[in-house]
Amino acid sequence: MEKNNSSKVNPMQDSHVVDRGRWVPVDESTLGFSLPPLPSQKPVAGPDGAIYCVGESKPELSRVSTNTNNAVPVPSSIIQMPAIVQPIALVPYTSQNQPMLQYDPYSRPVEPKTSPKAPVYVKKAFRGVSIVALLVSVIALVLLLILSVAVFQADDSRQAFDMNGVETIMAIGDIFGLDSGSEYSDNIVANKATMDTLSKIVVYAFPILVTLIAFLLLCLVIKYLARYLKKRSPRSFSIVALINIVFCVLAFVGLMAMSNSEVEPALRSQNISDFFMPGGAEATIGWGWGLLAALVGSILLLFLPLFAKKNAYIVERDDPSKKTYIIED
């Protein structure tokens, strides 16, 4: 049941009046009087002057005006709420099985555990052996060049003379017909027609042998200088020194063959004995000290590198302790 309070009623006498000018729902048991049966959807005036109707309640809504008691303003059509700042905790872990990280201001970085560095072994340089071999090769080369390599005694066809290494090397031109005006050219090469075949071969071969001996000694100088500068071990079997020994022996044999060709067959035994005397002074042709120095130097250079130990290593090339380790390959 609905009630319309549009009629003029004293509000002090009607305690049920709660609003005017619109339909409001009421309970019939609270009116204090009874109403006759009301037709559906038709209003009927009650004894209190109000109009009653049976039907569904349809309240009417109206705009709420400004409340001056609490000063609530009328809201506008667009309301901008203030921003709410809420901190978000970011937990740096990737799985629930991983522990949560926490910053400790008093912590110190942990030094990583490193395994000791494996020693690096390098071959011991034996620079002392290298410098000794270098000095021997230099001395042998210099003595070969400045001292006599062959001594020729005076006879009916020549005067006594000797040749050092430089003059012997220059005599190569005389062999190929380039007359250098040397005593070897005037006294030996010029008289080759009176010599036997072996002596002729020696006349041509001797300057070449001396040249090869000087060249091989120069190679040994360069070799041991490089070993010393590069701090490499000089230990090796010197093929160059061995070949140089062979050339020196051949030069001695050639000089002895030329000397024997100048004496009678009956006197050759005595001439050979005189040839091996110091300097071969008693023989018609003798050896010189420069050739002997080259032979001795080559023999020393054949054995000197063996003083450097085989498979000798040190931990570092500049290790102050210089401790040597023998490591078999």
Q: In what order do the strands lie in the sheet with 23-25?
A: 23-25, 2-4, 51-53, 44-45
Decide if pLDDT at 19 tops 60: no
- Give me the numbers of helices (H) and strands (E) for the chain, helices first please: 8, 10
Going by pLDDT thresholds of 50, 70 and 90, the confidence category of residue 13 is very low
Judge whether 91 lies within some domain.
no
Give the predicted TM-score (pTM) of the model. Answer: 0.58
What sign has the CA pseudo-torsion 145, 135, 313, 115? negative
Total Cβ atoms within 10 A of residue 136: 22
Which of residues 43, 59, 75 is at a domain's end?
A: 59
Worst-scoring range by mean pLDDT, 121-130, 179-188, 305-314? 179-188
Same domain, residue pair 12 and 144: no
Q: Which residues make Cβ contacts (< 8 Å) with residue 187, sequence separation at least 6?
A: 152, 157, 158, 159, 161
Same domain, residue pair 130 and 242: yes
The domain of 27 spans 1-59
H-state helical runs in 53-146: 127-146
Whole-number Å distance between alpha carbons of 293 and 136: 10
Which of 55-59, 91-95, 269-273 shows the highest mean pLDDT? 269-273
Which of residues 15, 32, 59 is at a domain's end?
A: 59
Task: Give the tens place of pLDDT for each residue, 175-191.
Answer: 776 766 677 776 676 66
Report which of residues 305 and 276 the model is more confident about: 305
Q: Which residues make Cβ contacts (< 8 Å) with residue 67, sequence separation at least 6?
A: none
Same domain, residue pair 131 and 261: yes
Beta bridge partners of 148: 164
Please compute the mean of the pLDDT values over residues 302-320 and round it to a whole number. Answer: 74
Task: Give the tens place of pLDDT for each residue, 139-165.
Answer: 999 999 999 898 888 777 778 888 888
Task: Give the tens place of pLDDT for each residue, 103-120.
Answer: 777 777 777 877 777 777
Same domain, residue pair 200 and 290: yes
The total domain count for the chain is 2
Same domain, residue pair 10 and 127: no
Computed over every residue of the chain, the mean pLDDT equals 76
Whole-number Å distance between alpha carbons of 45 and 53: 9
